[in-house]
Structure 1
Amino acid sequence: MSRIALSGFFCRLAIAWLVATGVAVAAPAVPQWSLLPQPVKASPVGSGAVEIADGAVVSVHGADRQEVQAVAERFVQRVADTNGMHLRVATADAAHAAITFDVNPNADVVDDAGYRITVDHGGIVVTARTPRGAFYGSVTLWQLLTPPGWTRGAPVQVADGVIDDHPRFAWRALLLDSGRHFQSVADIKKLIDWMSLNKLNVLLWHITEDQGWRLEIPKYPELTKVGACRKAVGLDSELTGSPDQPYCGFYTQTEAREIVRYAAERFVDVVPEIDLPGHSQAAIAAYPWLGVTGKRPAVWTDWGVSPWLIKPDEKTLQFVDDVLDEVMQLFPSRYISIGGDEADKQQWNASPEVRAQMHKLGLANMDQLQGWFMNQVAAHLVEHGRTPVGWDDVLVAGAKLPASQVVMSWHGDDNERVALAALRQGHDVVMTPQESLYFDHYQSDLPDEWPGPPPAPTLRQAYDTVVIPDGASADEARRVIGVQAGLWAEQMPTFAHDQHAVFPRIAALSELGWSPATARDWNDFLQRMPAELARYRALGIDYADSAFAPAFHVTAADHGAFRIELSNQVSFGTIRYTTDGSLPTSQSDAYAKPLTLSANTTLRAATFAANGFELAAPRTQVLDENTLLGRDGSALATCSRQPATRLDGSRPPQGPRPIYSVDIGNACWLWPKAPLDGITHVAMTVERMTWRFGDEAKDAVVRRKASAAGEFEIHADSCTGPLLASLPLDNAVQARGQVRLDGKVAMPVGAGVRDLCVFATGDPRDGQWALARMVFSK
C-alpha cells in the first residue's frame, strides 16, 4: 500500500473513531462563542472547531469522582432537555471521550469556583480544583453547546480555544420573599436550577413577614398554626377561591431541608432570613406577648410597613434564640440574616416600658435601642459559628450595626452613601440597591407591562448598577463581597410573575456578580442576549421581553392619516411589521423610518435578532377614529408627577387580567394636550380596588364628593379648572371588576387642544379607583 493510500486509510480510521466518540472534524466555518456571564478570559484560536454530536461520550477524571459524576450527569440531562442532543456519561475512565471533566485540587486555575475549558483536536476538557468549579465549567460548556441559532438535536461545533474563568464576587444572590406570597417547593427548586445556570450561588430566603410566618418551628407551633394564615383580602381571594378561605402556607422542616439539599447539589447556599424586630406582625399574632401592647393583631393583610415590632426585652430575646437554634439546625449556611429593616418605632416610642429600658441602657434614641437588640441577636449567631447578615436601615438613621454583621445595602440613592458608610465602619457589604436591583419593580412603561412598584429598573439600569461605591478606597472596595437582586412578593402572587420579573434581568445580575469589570460591556452584552433568551425558552422560562418589545408613538398626519414611530427600550434588534393584521415574521418588512398609515389599519410589530430569533412577541396598534381620542390609564401622567404603581385588577370572566397604573392614595391623572374639537361625549372604564396599602394611608388625597357615592370628574387646564364632565359612581361602588361610565362633555369656549385633569372624588382608603381607559367621541 502506498504512503498516500496508507495516509488516507488512517485518516478514514481517525474520522470513524471521532464519529464513534462524538468528536468529528470541524467544518470550515468557525462558530462564535456566546457566553453569559462573560468569562474572565476567553481565547478562541481563530481556526478549528470540535463537533459534538448525538452519542458523544462524557468522562470524569480525578478527585471527588462521585460528586463530579453527578455534575456531569446533570450537564448531560440539561443538554438533552434544551438542545435535544443525547450525550453519554462513561461509567469508567474513557480514553477517548469527547468531553472530559478533570478535577484536580492542584490544578492551575484561580479560585475553588474557577475552571478552565480547553477545546482542541483532542476534544473538550473542563479542568477545575473542586466539584464547584467543575459545575460552573459545565454551565459554560452547556452554553457552548447552545450557540446562537442552534438546531435542536443537530451536532454543534465548538470553536477551538481556551476559557479561563472564576467569579469576581463570592456573594451572587437572589432574594426570594415567601412571606407575602407563598411559592411551592417545586417552584423554588426550579428557581434554584435557573439561578445556578446564571452562576448565582446564594438564595436569600425571606421566610418571616407581617403577612405570614412560613417556617415550621416545633417549639412554637402557633407561629405556623396562626401566623401562616391571613384573611384573603383583595386579589388573595382569587388565589384561595373565596374571601372566606384564608391565604395560608408554610414550609415544614422536612421541606426546608429538601430545598437546602437540592440547592447544595447546584452549589447554591440557602441563607434564611428571620426579619427582626420589624416585619413581625405574624409572629405577634401567634404570640401576643412578643409585642409591646399585649394585644393580638391579625396577621397583616396590607402591604407596606407595619408598626407591630417585637418587644426588645429578655423574654423576646430568648424566643429569638430558640427560633435561631432551630434555624441553624435546618440551614448549614455560614450566614443567617436577621433583617433589621423598616422598623417603624411608633409603638416603642409610645411604650413607657420600652422607653424606660432605653434609658436604663443609656441609649439616646430608639434607633440605638434597635442596634442594641440586634447586637444581642448577632452575638448568639456568632457564638454558634455563624455570621449575621442584615439590612442597612439603622445606618441610615446614624446608628451602628453589630460589628460582625454583613450589611445588605438597599439604599442606593445619594451615590451609595449608606454602603460607603458601612464599608468605613468595617462591615462586609452586599450591594442590592432598590433603584436597579429590586426585580419586583416593573421594568418598562409598555401598556402590557406586568404589575409592580416604581421606579422601573430596566435591563440597562440593572446592568449599570454601581457595585463599588464612589470614593471607596482599595481596602474598602475589597469588603464589597457581592451583589443581590430582590424579589419582594407583595404584588407577585404567582410563579409566572416571579419568572417575568427575574428574567432576563438576572442575566445583568449574573454578569455583575461574576465577570470582571474590564470584561463587561453593554453593547457586547446585548449581542449575547439572543442566545441567552433562546436558552431561557428551551428551559421553559416565561421571561419578560419588555426590553426588546416594540413601542408605538402615534400622532396625527395629513388627511386623517397617522404617523407612527416604532422603537424599543434597548435600541437593539430589527423591528418588523405588518399592516394587514397578520403576525410579523423574520421576513416581514423592517422598520427603518416613521410610517404614515391610513385609518382602519391594524399595525403589528415584533423584534427579531439578526439570525431571525424573535426577541419580542408581536404588539398591536389599531388605527381608527378613536386612536387619538382615547388613552389608556398607563399612558397618562399622575397628578403628583410621581411614577405610578402598576396594580393587578380583578380577573374577568374572559380575556386577560387588567393592569392599571395608579398613584396609590391619589386617584388623579393628567392628559396633556388632549384633542377636544367637536367632542360631546366621554366613556371611561374604571375599577374600584380594595385598599391594602398600609403606610401609604397617611398620604392619601381626599377630594370632596358631590354625591354619596362620589364621581369621576374631568377638568380642563388644571385640576381646579373648568369642569368638563362629571360621571357618577352610584352603580360602580359595589361592582366587582371593570365598570363602564358614560357622560356628556360640556366643552368650554375655545376648546381645541387642552390639558386635562381626571380624578375620582372621595377617600381612596375606602377603595382605590383605577382608570383603565377613557375615550372621547363627537
Structure 2
Amino acid sequence: MRFSHSVTLVLLAGLLPLKIFAQQNFDLIPKPSSLTLAVGSYQIPAFPKVYVSEEFINASQLLTEHPAITSITTEIVKKIKKAPKEGIRILKAEETDKLDKAAYRIGITDKGIVILAHEVAPAINAIYTLVQLGYLQDNPAQINAVDIEDQPSFSYRGLHLDPSRHFIPFPIMKKFVDVMALYKLNNLHWHLTDGAGWRLEIKKYPELTNKAAWRTHVKWKDWWNNGRQYVDAGTPNASGGFYTQDQARELVAYAAQRGINVIPEVEMPGHSEEVLAIYPELSCSGKPYTQSEFCVGNEKTYEFLKNVLDEVIAIFPSPYIHIGGDEADKKHWKTCPKCQALKAKEGLKSEEELQSYLIKQMDEYVQSKGRKIIGWDEILEGGLTKGATVMSWRGESGGINSANAGHDVIMTPGSHLYFDSYQTDPRTQPETIGGYLPISKVYEYNPIPAAIQQDKIKHVLGAQANLWAEYMPNYQQLEYMAFPRTLALAEVVWTKADLKNWPNFHKRLQSHYKILQHFDINYYRPSYNVKASVDFDAKKASNTVTLTTEQLHADNIRFTIDGSKPTYQATPYNNSFDLSVPTIVKAAYFLDSTQVGPIETIQLDVHKAIGKAVSYTNKWDDGYPAQKELTLTNGVKGGLTYQDGQWQGFLKDLDVVVDFERREEINSVAMNFMQITGPGVYMPGEFKVLLSENGRTFREVGIVQNDVSDQDPTLTFKRFELKLAKPQQARFVRVVATNPKKGFLFADELIVY
C-alpha cells in the first residue's frame, strides 16, 4: 500500500496556507527518516473503531495512550485489499509496499490514519509516533495530513537504571517504561544487585531480601562512609527495598507490551558485598564484611549463582542476561587456597584468567538455557566465549576490540553516556559522582567509532545511557539526571547520522518540556547561566569569545568588557567578538529587563608566555595529557571539566620551566587550578615561583599558599597569582605547585605578564 497524496515539506512551505504550520507541531524526537506534510487534516475520534491486522491486535491497544483517545474497539482485517479506506487502520505491510522489516509508514489524510509495518516492533513505534504527535499539539484531536516513514539506525536502544544504590519504587519503574516507549528506547537494563542492596526476590535464598536488601543509612554515601552494614527487614533504621517476583513479571509484561525488553543484571564476581555478608561461606575468607568478590575456587559459588540465575531466567524472557563482571578486586584470590588450587588445576596463568573462568562457566550455563550473557568490558580480560556481548564503558576501546574480534557490542562510554555526571556548571548543582556531560555532548555521540573495521560495524548493536544512582537518593533526583538527556540519547540511537543537527534538535526539544511536565517528571530545567567559549588565535594574538546559554535564544545576553556589572542597558550579544588585549568580560541573561541568571566572569589573557617552550621536571599523568608540551602556554583556558583536553593532570608536584629565549621583564606569574574532591582532584598546597638567567640556578621570588578547604566537595577554581613587588628581569620562569594530598593537580595555563 502506497501513499500518493503527499507533497514535500520544502515545496509546501510556499504553497500551503500558513495556518497549517501555525496550528500543527511536528517537532518529533527522535527525528524521523522522512516527514512530508500535505493538505488537509484529520479529526481523531475519542472512541474510534480501529481496523487492524491480527498480529497487531495487542499493539493497537496502545492507541489509548494518545491524549485524544479514550478507548477503542477493534475489528480484525483478514485481507489487506478489503481494508476500509477511512478511519484508523494498522495493517501488515506487503512486499509491494517496499518497506524495510524494521520500518513503519504512517499516512494521514482527511479520511483517516493508516499505519503500515511488517512486524510488531515497528508497529508499536508508529503508534508512539502518533501518541507523541498528540502531546505536541494544542488540540491533540486534530492532526495535519502527513506522510512519515521511519526506522531505527540501531536495534539496541537502551537505558540503565540502578535501584541497588537507591531503591526505585515500582510505580516509578513503570513511569520510566512509559517515557522510554514514547521516545522509542527498547531495552531497559535493570541493575538489580550490587553491594548497596539486593533488589530481587529469590525464593531459594530468602535472606537476600530479608537482610541483604536493607542497610543502615538512606543515602548511599552515608552508608558507604559509616561501616557499610546490612540490617534485618523491619529494623527501625532499615533503608532499602526489593521487588517481588510477581512485580518483576508485571514490569516485564508491561514493558513488552510497549516494545521494551527488560534485561536483569546479577553482579558477579565483584560488587557482591551484600551477598557475602549474608552468605560468607561464598567468600575466600569465610567471614562476612571482608571482601566484595565471590570465591572463584569454591564450588558453592557456582551452585549459588546457577540457582539464582535459574529463578532470574524464569522471570525474564530477555534474550540477554547481564552478569556484570566489572571492577573485581582480585587480591583475595591471590592468597585463597581454593582459588589457587583451581588456577593450578585449570592451568590458568593469572587472576584475570580466574575471573574469565567464572565468566565462561556462567556463560555456558546461561547459553544452556537458551540465553546469552552481556557483561561490562572487563569480561574481555582472559578471553571471551563465542556469543557473549560486551558493554563498552571504559571509553570505546573495549567495544572496538570486541567488535573487531567478532563479538556484539553495546556502546556506553562514560564520556558521553554516563548520566550520573553533572549536566551543567557543577557549582550550581546537587552533588554527583563527578564529570561533566551536558545534553549537547550526549547528542554529539556516534556509537560507531572510526576504528571499527567496515565489515565489523554490524556487531555494534547500539548504545545505552547509564544512570548510576550513588548520588540519586530519590526518584525525583533520578528523573532530574535522566531528563532531558535521555531524549538526546533517543535521537542518537534512532536517527540517521546525516539527519542529526544540534541546533535543530535543540529547537525541537523546546516542544517536549510540556510532555515531560505532563508525565510529572522532575526534569533538569535549561539553565540561564551564560557559558563562554574562548578560542585563541596565536597568529593574531587575539581571543574570540562566544557566549551561549541553554536557552533557545542567546540575544537576551548582555555583556561588558570593562569589568563592570552588566545591566539590561549593556551591549546585547549578537555574535562572537574578538579581543586582543587582556580583558575581563562579564555577561548575564535577562528576561524583560530583569537579570535571571548569574554573572559569568571571563578573564581573557594575552600574556608573555604564549607559544613559549615548557620543560617538565615531572611529566603529566598519561591519562590527562591535554595538549602535552603545548598545554600550559597555548593561550587556551580549561572549562568546567578536567576531561576537556585543556586541563593537564599531575599526580606528583607540578614542576615546570618556561623559556622566554631572552630576558624579559616579569611582573606577575599565575596558574589556574581546580578542585573537586570526589574523584580526588585537589588544589596545590603552595604555588612557588622562581626565576633564572641560565636555566640552572633559580632564585625564589615568592610563594602563594592555598586557602581553599578540601572539606567542601563542590567544584572550585582558583587563580594562584604572584604579583612581584617590583619588576624583575629573567629568561626562565619556574613554577612549582606542591601536591600534599597525593591526588590529582589540574592546571590549564601558565600566565606571565
TM-score calculated relative to the size of structure 2 = 0.70
Secondary structure of 1:457 counterpart:
coil
Q: Distance in 1 between matches of 2:168 and 2:195?
A: 17
Q: Is 2:117 aligned against 1:128?
A: yes
Matches within 5 A, 1:347-426: 347-395=332-380, 397=381, 399-413=382-396, 416=397, 418-426=398-406
| Offset of residue 201 of structure 1 | 0.6
| Offset of residue 345 of structure 1 | 0.9
Structure 2 counterpart of 1:73? 64
Matches within 5 A, 1:214-363: 214-232=199-217, 245-297=237-289, 308-363=293-348
Checking the alignment, whether the CA contact within 8 Å between 1:179 and 1:214 is kept in structure 2 is yes
- Identify if the C-alpha distance between structure 1 residues 640 and 375 changes in structure 2 by more than 3 Å, giving closer, same or farther: closer
Secondary structure of 1:484 counterpart:
strand
Secondary structure of 1:380 counterpart:
helix
Q: Distance in 2 between matches of 1:27 and 1:372?
A: 66
Q: Distance in 2 between matches of 1:178 and 1:573?
A: 38
Matches within 5 A, 1:623-642: none
The amino acid across from 2:124 in the alignment is: F
Checking the alignment, whether the CA contact within 8 Å between 2:215 and 2:238 is kept in structure 1 is yes
Structure 1 counterpart of 2:632? none
Structure 1 counterpart of 2:717? none
User: Which has the higher mean CA deviation after the structures are superposed, 521-530 or 196-205?
Assistant: 521-530
Q: Is 2:91 aligned against 1:100?
A: no
- Identify if the C-alpha distance between structure 1 residues 87 and 757 changes in structure 2 by more than 3 Å, giving closer, same or farther: farther
Checking the alignment, whether the CA contact within 8 Å between 2:166 and 2:220 is kept in structure 1 is no
Structure 2 counterpart of 1:61? 51
| Offset of residue 117 of structure 1 | 0.6
- Identify if the C-alpha distance between structure 1 residues 111 and 308 changes in structure 2 by more than 3 Å, giving closer, same or farther: same
Cα root mean square deviation, aligned: 5.5
Q: Distance in 2 between matches of 1:590 and 1:66?
A: 55
| Offset of residue 56 of structure 1 | 5.2
The amino acid across from 2:280 in the alignment is: P
Structure 2 counterpart of 1:145? 134
Q: Is 2:35 aligned against 1:42?
A: yes
Q: Distance in 2 between matches of 1:190 and 1:582?
A: 43
| Offset of residue 38 of structure 1 | 1.9
Deviations 1:205-226 (A, max 9, x none): 1111122222221211222233
| Offset of residue 376 of structure 1 | 0.9
Deviations 1:244-264 (A, max 9, x none): 935422222222222222222
- Identify if the C-alpha distance between structure 1 residues 59 and 115 changes in structure 2 by more than 3 Å, giving closer, same or farther: farther
Deviations 1:521-578 (A, max 9, x none): 3443334322234433343333334588533699xxxxxxxx9977226796334158
Deviations 1:308-359 (A, max 9, x none): 3443432211110000001112212121111111222111122233122112
Matches within 5 A, 1:614-693: 618-621=596-599
- Identify if the C-alpha distance between structure 1 residues 464 and 372 changes in structure 2 by more than 3 Å, giving closer, same or farther: same
Structure 1 counterpart of 2:423? 443
Secondary structure of 2:48 counterpart:
strand
| Offset of residue 274 of structure 1 | 0.6
Structure 2 counterpart of 1:605? 589
Checking the alignment, whether the CA contact within 8 Å between 1:468 and 1:480 is kept in structure 2 is yes
| Offset of residue 204 of structure 1 | 0.7
Q: Distance in 2 between matches of 1:602 and 1:370?
A: 55
Q: Distance in 2 between matches of 1:146 and 1:751?
A: 67
Deviations 1:509-530 (A, max 9, x none): 2122222334333443334322
Q: Distance in 1 between matches of 2:650 and 2:274?
A: 25
Checking the alignment, whether the CA contact within 8 Å between 2:282 and 2:298 is kept in structure 1 is no
Checking the alignment, whether the CA contact within 8 Å between 2:529 and 2:550 is kept in structure 1 is no
- Identify if the C-alpha distance between structure 1 residues 724 and 313 changes in structure 2 by more than 3 Å, giving closer, same or farther: same
* 2:725 maps to which of 749, 757, 762: 749
Secondary structure of 1:381 counterpart:
helix
Structure 2 counterpart of 1:164? 149
| Offset of residue 238 of structure 1 | 10
Secondary structure of 2:318 counterpart:
coil
Checking the alignment, whether the CA contact within 8 Å between 1:59 and 1:97 is kept in structure 2 is no
Structure 2 counterpart of 1:510? 490
The amino acid across from 1:253 in the alignment is: Q
Checking the alignment, whether the CA contact within 8 Å between 2:526 and 2:550 is kept in structure 1 is no
Checking the alignment, whether the CA contact within 8 Å between 2:530 and 2:599 is kept in structure 1 is no
Q: Is 2:473 aligned against 1:493?
A: yes
- Identify if the C-alpha distance between structure 1 residues 737 and 128 changes in structure 2 by more than 3 Å, giving closer, same or farther: closer
Secondary structure of 1:162 counterpart:
strand
Q: Percent identity?
A: 28
- Identify if the C-alpha distance between structure 1 residues 701 and 309 changes in structure 2 by more than 3 Å, giving closer, same or farther: farther
- Identify if the C-alpha distance between structure 1 residues 595 and 330 changes in structure 2 by more than 3 Å, giving closer, same or farther: same
Q: Which runs of 5+ in 2 are unaligned?
A: 1-15, 77-82, 230-236, 535-542, 560-564, 580-584, 602-619, 625-639, 656-666, 668-674, 692-698, 715-720, 745-753
Checking the alignment, whether the CA contact within 8 Å between 1:35 and 1:144 is kept in structure 2 is yes
Checking the alignment, whether the CA contact within 8 Å between 1:199 and 1:510 is kept in structure 2 is yes
Checking the alignment, whether the CA contact within 8 Å between 1:222 and 1:286 is kept in structure 2 is yes
Q: Which runs of 5+ in 1 are unaligned?
A: 1-24, 77-85, 299-305, 555-562, 624-638, 644-658, 671-676, 678-685, 704-711, 739-744, 769-778
Q: Distance in 1 between matches of 2:472 and 2:146?
A: 43
- Identify if the C-alpha distance between structure 1 residues 758 and 213 changes in structure 2 by more than 3 Å, giving closer, same or farther: farther
Aligned residue pairs, count:
645
Structure 2 counterpart of 1:188? 173
Q: Is 2:73 aligned against 1:91?
A: yes
Checking the alignment, whether the CA contact within 8 Å between 1:60 and 1:68 is kept in structure 2 is no
Q: Distance in 2 between matches of 1:353 and 1:340?
A: 20
Q: Distance in 2 between matches of 1:494 and 1:227?
A: 20
Checking the alignment, whether the CA contact within 8 Å between 1:565 and 1:593 is kept in structure 2 is yes
Secondary structure of 1:102 counterpart:
strand
- Identify if the C-alpha distance between structure 1 residues 376 and 125 changes in structure 2 by more than 3 Å, giving closer, same or farther: same
The amino acid across from 2:105 in the alignment is: R
Checking the alignment, whether the CA contact within 8 Å between 1:548 and 1:572 is kept in structure 2 is no
Secondary structure of 1:493 counterpart:
coil
Secondary structure of 1:327 counterpart:
helix
- Identify if the C-alpha distance between structure 1 residues 295 and 88 changes in structure 2 by more than 3 Å, giving closer, same or farther: closer
Q: Distance in 1 between matches of 2:211 and 2:736?
A: 46
| Offset of residue 41 of structure 1 | 2.9
Q: Is 2:513 aligned against 1:524?
A: no
Secondary structure of 1:447 counterpart:
helix
- Identify if the C-alpha distance between structure 1 residues 239 and 493 changes in structure 2 by more than 3 Å, giving closer, same or farther: farther
| Offset of residue 144 of structure 1 | 3.0
Checking the alignment, whether the CA contact within 8 Å between 2:199 and 2:241 is kept in structure 1 is yes
Checking the alignment, whether the CA contact within 8 Å between 1:575 and 1:590 is kept in structure 2 is yes
Secondary structure of 1:427 counterpart:
coil
Q: Distance in 1 between matches of 2:338 and 2:499?
A: 56
User: Which has the higher mean CA deviation after the structures are superposed, 661-670 or 475-484?
Assistant: 661-670
- Identify if the C-alpha distance between structure 1 residues 42 and 747 changes in structure 2 by more than 3 Å, giving closer, same or farther: closer
- Identify if the C-alpha distance between structure 1 residues 763 and 479 changes in structure 2 by more than 3 Å, giving closer, same or farther: closer
Checking the alignment, whether the CA contact within 8 Å between 1:256 and 1:330 is kept in structure 2 is yes
- Identify if the C-alpha distance between structure 1 residues 73 and 411 changes in structure 2 by more than 3 Å, giving closer, same or farther: same
